[in-house]
Structures are given as structure tokens and as C-alpha cells.
């Protein structure tokens, strides 16, 4: 378990150009999750063994008339006490959803994330691609509450030159993942905390160094870190790095909605979204890969850039949801991953989100969107740069 008195929990000064996270200590995915269960089971075994030993001793005493020393029962009682203490020590700390600091614009102005799409024409494939989404409702893939043991959304961790670095063993794509150690915040806030479920992204940001680190499927086994893959993003560059932690190869945080953006009245960038329907073996810029499973020629490919239609009825949306929707009319959203369920926007979890408000996004569905033609704004396949509007 990480230290409760750390620069991450809001008690310290700004870190790497960002304010501190106001959050709790957390259990890491991996062996820390198993410790209380294992010690609890050992406690049960010892208690059961102690009971059996006492019963055997009593029966033997009645049969022989002699009372031997309860050596086994005493030993098991001592072991039970030890395992009981260890089980209590390793119980998860009380969890609450953190509040994350405001993020500035993370990439250069020319990045596609900041390119408004209101002036772009509708793509020729738009009708078929949108139809492939089967009028799925729009949802927020983030929130401010624990549901089913985890919080939806991708958290981030401010780090700096003083943050300890750790070696990471990559289990899926070691060839394209970072070779250098990764700065590991303490506590480390990881996607789907506190019990953990899918993806388990870890994102660290050092604004002073202009660097962002991403890991996916993060685990810590007895102090040894592992992840499926990783990527290091130069925040002053528009070139894609070698590695990736999303199927589309796009960076998570620049395309995530934050509560501070919404509180300020606008989300000033394109938003990433996931969908259960995406084309297999095909992607379009700005994506550089896919994990799509749908072989239909009309299935929407990853990298498709959607714009919420002007005139869409936003009257049923809550205040937070309405700000997000209005921003989707200006900057749009980009398909970045395959997921279960509905079309889900990427965002940073935060205690200040109103989950009931965000749920009103479901009044918008796939048919309220159109795909824009990005052929006139793409500079190169291996670049995030987009041609900006004239003037």
C-alpha cells in the first residue's frame, strides 16, 4: 500500500507544474488486493485447525484419562493471531473519489484535438458508418461515484524530477514499449480504482519536463511492476511515439473531458470515445491502429471523427452534459477503442462530477452525429498535426 502522506493526496506543493491531487491512499492492483484475502483464509484455516486439535485432545483425554499439553492448539492460536493482525493491517484504506487538478492544453496548437470541425464537410461514408452504430446512446465513460467497486474514467498523476522511477515488465508489447523506467506516483491512481476491472491505465504527467507516460493493464506483484504496454509522449511534439496504450494509438489525456473544463463552460478539444462497433483491419487518420472486430464494410473504423449535428435537441441535458454536448458540436469526438455497451466518452473521474447530470447524455444517440471528412486537414499519417481553419 502506498504512503498516506504523499504529494499526491493534496497535502503537498504543486508537482511538475500541476496542482496536487486531493485523493485517498489506494491499494494497487495485484498482490496488495490478494493480501487480506490470503491472510483471512489462513486465519480461518488456523482457527478451524485449532478447533479440531482441541476436539481431538478432549476425546483422547476421555479415553486415556490423561491430559496432554495442547501444543498444537496453542501453536495454531498463535498463528491465527498473527494472520488476523496481518489481515487487518492489509485491509484496503477508506476510499473516496479524488479531485484532480485543472489541466492546461497538453499538446501544440496544431494538434488535431484543437482543430474545430464546424467548417468541415460531411464524409461520403458518414451515413453508413453512423448506421453501423445502431443508434446507440451516448454515455459518459467517467464519473464521480463508485459503482460496482470501481470509478469510471482515466485518472492522471502529476509527477516531477523527484518522483521515484520504477522498472516495468511489459507482458504484451515489450518491443514497442518504453525502455527507460517510469515515474510512479505515490499513491498511484489507476483506472477503475479501487477494486479494478478493465484496462487499468496509469497516466503520469510532468508539465515542467513536457512529458506524459501511459501504461495499460498495470499490476504490482510483491513490489514488481508489470504492464501490457506503454508509451511516452513528448508534449511539445506532434509526432506519434513508438508505443501505445489505446487500440487507435491516440493519447488518452488530451482527448479526455475534465470537470474543470466543464465548470469553465467549454471543452476546448475533440473528445475520444469508445464503441462496441468498429471496423476490423481498417482505421483512418488520426488513428494509427485498431482492435475492431466488425468485418462489415460499412462498420465505422477507428479514427472516424464525428460532429454532433447543429439543431440537436439539448433541452433534456443537465448543465454538465449540455456543456459537453455543445463542445461536441464544435470539436467533435474521435473513435479510439472498442468497448462493450454504448458509445462512451473518455474523461477524468472526479468527485465533482454529477453522475445523474452526466446520465442525461443518453438523450443523444448515434443518429444525432455525422462523420466529417478529414482528408483536407491531415498533414501526414504519422503526425497529429492538422491544418487549421483559415484566419
For residues 260 and 269, the answer to whether their CB atoms sit within 8 Å is no
Please give the pLDDT value at position 72. Answer: 77
* Residue 147 CB partners (closer than 8 Å, separation 6+): none
Of 8-22, 220-234, 309-323, least confident by mean pLDDT is 8-22
Least confident of 105-119, 283-297, 308-322: 283-297
pLDDT at 27 (0 to 100): 87
pLDDT band at 18 (very low <50, low <70, confident <90, very high): very high
pLDDT at 151 over 50: yes
Q: Report pLDDT digits (tens) over 20-74.
A: 999 998 988 887 766 667 767 777 887 888 788 778 777 877 777 666 677 777 8
Question: Would you state the cell numbers that stand for residue 66, as one nine-digit string?
Answer: 490423561
Q: How confident is the model at residue 78 (pLDDT cuts 50, 70, 90)?
A: confident
For residue 89, the model assigns a pLDDT of 64
- Joined together, the cell numbers standing for residue 345 give 466518452
pLDDT(278) > 90: yes
Residue spans of beta strands (DSSP E) within 167-323 = 168-170, 182-183, 202-206, 211-216, 219-221, 224-227, 229-234, 271-275, 305-308
**Average pLDDT score over residue span 115-132:** 96
Q: What is the pLDDT of residues 171-200, one digit of tens each?
A: 999 999 999 999 999 999 999 998 888 899
Look at residue 175 in the predicted model and tell me its pLDDT: 94
Distance CA 278, CA 295 (A): 9
Is this structure's pTM higher than 0.85?
A: yes
- pLDDT exceeds 60 at position 4: no
In this prediction, residue 66 carries a pLDDT of: 65
Residue 138 near residue 364 (C-beta atoms within 8 A):
yes
d(CA 15, CA 208): 9
Query: For residue 8, is pLDDT > 60?
Result: no
Average pLDDT over residues 270-285: 95
Lowest-pLDDT range of 30-34, 87-91, 314-318: 87-91
Q: If we measure between CA atoms, which residue out of 176, 245, 170 comes closest to residue 213?
A: 245
Angle of CA points 204, 209, 212, to nearest 5°: 30
What does the pLDDT read at residue 50? Answer: 79
* pLDDT the model gives residue 7: 44
Per-residue pLDDT, averaged over 102-114, amounts to 97
CA atoms within 13 A on the CB side of 179: 2
Nearest CA to 165 among 106, 194, 110, 206?
Answer: 206
Q: What is the mean pLDDT of the segment spanning 300-322? A: 97
Q: Is the pLDDT of residue 106 over 60?
A: yes
Using a CB cutoff of 8 Å and minimum separation of 24, what contacts does 276-283 make? 276/136, 276/338, 276/339, 276/340, 276/341, 276/342, 277/132, 277/133, 277/134, 277/136, 278/302, 278/335, 278/337, 278/338, 283/248
| Distance (Å, whole) CA 292 – CA 372 | 20
Which of the four pLDDT bands, split at 50, 70 and 90, describes residue 285? very high
Average pLDDT on 113-121 reads 97
Domain ranges of the chain: 31-89, 112-371
Residue 207: pLDDT above 70?
A: yes
In DSSP notation, 119-156 reads TSPBPTTHHHHHHTTTTPBEEES--SS-BTTB--S---
Pairing of strands 138-140, 343-345: parallel
Residue 290 has pLDDT above 80, yes or no: yes
Give percent of the chain above pLDDT 70.
92
Say what the pLDDT of residue 91 is.
Answer: 63
Report whether pLDDT(5) > 50: no
Mean pLDDT of all residues in the chain? 90
Amino acid at each position: 500500500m502506498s504512503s498516506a502522506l504523499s504529494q499526491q493526496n493534496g497535502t503537498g506543493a504543486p508537482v511538475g507544474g500541476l496542482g496536487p491531487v486531493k485523493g485517498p491512499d489506494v491499494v494497487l492492483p495485484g498482490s496488495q488486493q490478494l493480501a487480506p484475502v490470503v491472510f483471512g483464509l489462513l486465519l480461518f484455516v488456523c482457527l478451524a485447525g485449532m478447533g479440531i486439535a482441541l476436539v481431538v485432545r478432549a476425546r483422547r483425554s476421555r479415553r486415556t484419562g490423561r491430559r496432554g499439553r495442547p501444543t498444537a492448539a496453542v501453536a495454531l492460536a498463535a498463528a491465527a493471531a498473527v494472520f488476523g493482525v496481518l489481515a487487518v493491517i492489509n485491509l484496503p484504506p477508506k476510499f473516496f473519489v479524488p479531485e484532480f487538478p485543472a489541466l492546461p492544453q497538453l499538446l501544440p496548437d496544431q494538434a488535431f484535438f484543437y482543430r474545430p470541425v464546424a467548417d468541415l464537410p460531411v464524409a461520403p461514408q458518414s451515413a453508413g458508418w453512423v448506421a453501423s452504430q445502431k443508434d446507440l446512446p451516448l454515455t459518459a465513460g467517467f464519473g464521480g461515484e463508485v459503482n460496482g467497486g470501481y470509478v469510471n474514467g482515466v485518472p492522471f498523476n502529476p509527477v516531477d524530477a523527484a518522483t521515484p522511477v520504477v522498472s516495468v515488465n511489459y507482458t504484451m508489447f515489450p518491443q514497442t514499449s518504453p525502455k527507460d523506467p517510469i515515474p510512479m506516483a505515490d499513491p498511484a491512481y489507476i483506472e477503475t480504482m479501487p477494486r479494478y476491472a478493465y484496462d487499468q491505465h496509469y497516466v503520469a504527467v510532468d508539465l515542467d519536463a513536457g512529458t506524459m507516460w501511459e501504461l495499460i493493464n498495470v499490476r504490482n506483484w510483491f513490489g514488481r511492476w508489470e504492464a501490457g504496454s506503454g508509451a511516452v509522449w513528448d508534449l511539445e511534439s506532434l509526432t506519434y511515439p513508438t508505443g501505445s496504450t489505446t487500440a487507435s494509438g491516440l493519447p488518452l489525456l488530451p482527448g479526455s473531458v475534465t470537470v474543470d473544463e466543464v465548470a469553465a463552460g467549454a471543452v476546448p478539444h475533440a473528445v475520444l470515445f469508445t464503441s462496441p462497433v468498429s471496423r476490423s483491419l481498417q482505421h483512418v487518420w488520426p488513428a494509427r491502429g485498431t482492435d475492431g472486430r466488425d468485418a462489415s464494410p460499412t462498420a465505422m473504423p477507428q479514427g472516424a471523427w464525428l460532429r454532433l449535428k447543429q439543431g440537436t435537441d439539448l433541452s433534456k441535458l443537465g448543465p454538465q452534459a449540455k456543456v459537453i454536448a455543445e463542445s461536441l458540436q464544435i470539436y467533435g469526438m474521435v473513435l479510439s477503442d472498442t468497448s462493450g455497451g454504448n458509445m462512451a466518452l473518455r474523461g477524468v473521474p472526479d468527485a465533482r462530477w454529477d453522475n445523474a447530470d452526466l446520465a442525461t447524455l443518453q438523450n443523444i444517440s448515434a443518429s444525432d452525429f455525422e462523420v466529417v471528412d478529414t482528408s483536407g486537414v491531415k498533414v501526414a499519417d504519422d503526425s497529429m498535426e492538422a491544418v487549421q481553419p483559415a484566419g
